[in-house]
A and B are shown apart, each in its own frame.
Chain A
């Protein structure tokens, strides 16, 4: 499976990486990530390390195991080793600010991948527009939910929220509400905390569905929770394909391989897609450019507009989603 991920990643990045691989001098880049718990982070990690290495750069990898203090120490260690640049996936928005300041004080350019600091003014910040992407995905299932009812009765919309300390989770929640508020008088909202943990999501979702057996649409802040959602809905006869009696329009966000498979199967209607390869490419290009130009404090926000892959545009946009690319390479056949 590792080979398949490598192959897919390398193939997709070959064109993107070629541009700067030849122009930039060989650099030593410290890549400090918080952990690799989901498909998104694994694919992002592969994209960055593979491309940099293949372009002749040296990558020093540091895994903080979800410990913000450890990540700060790891970045300090990288600075002490004299790296040319740093790319981080921070544990949270607050610790990211401290780490960016630490690197810039030491005159080492730093890029933050996907999880933005609470202060966007310093460092190269590559971030998905979580709110807009979530809104697009939610819009689609809101439309489906409204179409499935003939009267004006209020519908129940359930959102599984991520860790509220994570700016991405907050952005996704905001995007969900932006879509819901377009039809404010038509929806009751049920919020379920997941803390980005499958066991917590399982317990809380069971309670929420027991309290509110009539769910008309659902949005999960991350695709990795779809198996958990299935575990709760299936025994209650609520895990149905589109077109079957009792189908609940479901949407997620990330664009992973599981979501791709579930959209194809008809269980999931939409997922917000972060353009992983665009984000990885942007972070690498910007940091290598700063190294080459000798810019120690580059400050720039690079936004990934993303898009929503839905059951309606699946045929056209399937291969724009990183999860579908991995799926086509057999990622889920582990």
Chain B
């Protein structure tokens, strides 16, 4: 049984990798698909420069501290936030490799949020694991944005093997259209996302292409409603 699973997994892994390599060549063809709305309508997709323009990051960015182990005592700085040098270095490493594929949403002390298109996520994730040392995923969280008709999936990536990265969490996010929510799975890169992605599938209805088991996990077997963490699912009486 388990052997069969592993074989399937390997096959799937090979399939997804080939798909990824082909997708880079067919980049233009994929971009013409109408699935993602134009980025100008989305409030959080714009920032490509390191200083975050949205109120999001400005509010909660802490004061600058020394990079290896800064204390996270949150004192809200209303001034222009200066991204800490270590985090900036990490982002520059990503920027040099991928260029405009990686959009930096914000850089805060110990927290970096980057956004990629769904077809690029496998490539970026394997670079993060192999060259930058983010070796496991802490959680996978999906958020429903009905205004943009999109679902955002956040991978919180952490590191055990690189000591200077132990305090850092990198948020790798991708947005997918809500009507046909599909994302390539990261299970071949991060084994630790297996149950998290399965949970995300049943709670938000995001189908992870290549995941061996997109099926029921926490909800009862006879669940016959829309995924509960979508915003159009309302609790009765509320």
A and B part of one assembly: no
Report which A residues bind B (CB closer than 8 A): none
Report which B residues bind A (CB closer than 8 A): none
